[in-house]
Amino acid sequence: MEPSYLKLYRNGELSARLEKAIDMMEACHLCPRACGVNRLEGETGYCRTGRKARVASFNAHFGEEGPLVGRYGSGTIFLSSCNLLCSFCQNYDISHLAEGTEVEPEQVAAMMLHLAERGCHNINFVTPSHVVPQSIEALVLAIEQGLEVPLVYNSGGYDDKETLQLLDGIFDIYMPDFKFWDGKWAERFCNAPDYREIAMDAIREMHRQVGDLVMDNEGIAVKGLLVRHLVMPKQVAGTGKIMEFLAKEISPDTYINVMDQYRPCGSADQDEFINRRLTSQEYRNAVDAAIKAGLTRLDPRERPRLIFRF
């Protein structure tokens, strides 16, 4: 299956989308924060990112979901900073401390091509919500040098619908988080009381564009939606409600990774609600909630579990 962005490139639509995305940075409203700063002039808002993207690292990653990893890995590009800034972020140095180097589009294109040449099954933009224009800029250059693997949009789920509409036909695979159902917890941990409503609209739009996850004969994802949900202590994530939403309003065939690797990173160890790891029972309850809701495509990969009983 040919990546959909090649058609947009050939008919000139990709360049038009890029122009619109860049224009959105003048009074920035690329993400739901809508800071209104002029990033084209180097001003920064919530994401602390100006005209250029910053990259922390890029590599062939084997810790992602099975349909992305396959035999040769997912070609991840870890983008610095974030529009969500969760207090418990497991990539705290990259998101909160903006670890990384400011890069030109040509450099990002070179990263994409290098990963593809290594055999990676896809190019996986990690936390791209605040750097959509820069990602498209690099894509144009990479296409001109022969890129032809699917792109993965790997976000925290706090994505603006208008921005996502610009990406229709550019990203073949969407992999958002759905972190919280209750605005009280989203405000406490992410300063985003509207997180649930934003994530619901974003995931609806993503699914409209790409549908349920489709894999090739070797089990490699070529197109579709894959949702991640990090199970958290004391049920603060609202797992049951999220699973019901995905099953009833998106699709019972939604591919979902119910993740068990929560640990108190960042400033989480100072918060009484999330200052410990999960219990075995909390994780089992989350998986049971997904099954009860009617979801049948749970990520099955085996991985070491660091779950303590209390």
Query: What are the backbone dihedrals phi and psi of residue 130, each rounded to the nearest 5 degrees, phi first?
Result: -95, -5
Domains detected in the chain = 5-298 (3.20.20.70)
Helix spans in 169-238 (H): 183-190, 195-210
- Position 301 scores a pLDDT of 58
pLDDT tens digits along 5-41: 999 999 999 999 999 999 999 999 999 999 999 999 9
For the chain, give the percent of residues with pLDDT over 70. 97
* pLDDT of 306 above 60: no
Neighbouring-strand partners of residue 101: 55
* pLDDT of 302 above 50: no
pLDDT tens digits along 98-127: 999 999 999 999 999 999 999 999 999 999
pTM above 0.75, yes or no: yes
Please tell me the distance from the alpha carbon of residue 239 to that of residue 245, in angstroms, as a whole number. Answer: 10
Q: What is the DSSP letter of 248?
A: I
pLDDT tens digits along 158-214: 999 999 999 999 999 999 999 999 999 999 999 999 999 999 999 999 999 999 999
Please tell me the distance from the alpha carbon of residue 143 to that of residue 13, in angstroms, as a whole number. Answer: 14
Contact 41, 60 (CB under 8 A): no
* pLDDT of 304 above 60: no
Mean pLDDT, the chain, rounded, equals 95
Contact 51, 27 (CB under 8 A): no
